[in-house]
Amino acid sequence: AQSVSQHNHHVILSEAASLELGCNYSYGGTVNLFWYVQYPGQHLQLLLKYFSGDPLVKGIKGFEAEFIKSKFSFNLRKPSVQWSDTAEYFCAVRGNTDKLIFGTGTRLQVFP
């Protein structure tokens, strides 16, 4: 069965700090990978996605993620966070079924 693990449940950073959120998945076949963000009081929004090609994917708001197939990982990064990045971040994977499997989420708090 497919599964997604997000090891960081709660991350607290100061503005301008660098961010890396871990995401590992378990599935041996071809995958589509996603990072979604949920700002306070708002709906889930797509940050970035990987379908194929360049394993380094750039998304909105300065976020990027790297797909490392050998490690079954798709970690999210941002060189310098802002207070407005405070949100819940979800990694999701789709394998050979039609459903998205989400991780439990990482709550990011950025202090000015």
- Residue 106 burial by Cβ neighbours in a 10 Å radius (0-12, 13-18, 19+): buried
Q: Residue 71 has what DSSP assignment?
A: G
**Close Cβ partners of 109 (under 8 Å, ≥ 6 residues apart):** 10, 11, 12, 13, 86
- Residue 45 DSSP SS3: strand
State the nearest-atom distance from the C-beta of 105 to other proteins, in Å: 5
- The binding track of 28-67 with respect to other proteins, each residue x by CB under 8 A or -, is ----x-x-x-----xxxxx--x------------------
Looking at beta carbons only, is 41 or 112 nearer to other proteins?
41
Looking at beta carbons only, is 72 or 102 nearer to other proteins?
102
Residues that bind other proteins (CB under 8 A): 4, 6, 32, 34, 36, 42-46, 49, 90, 92, 94, 97-105
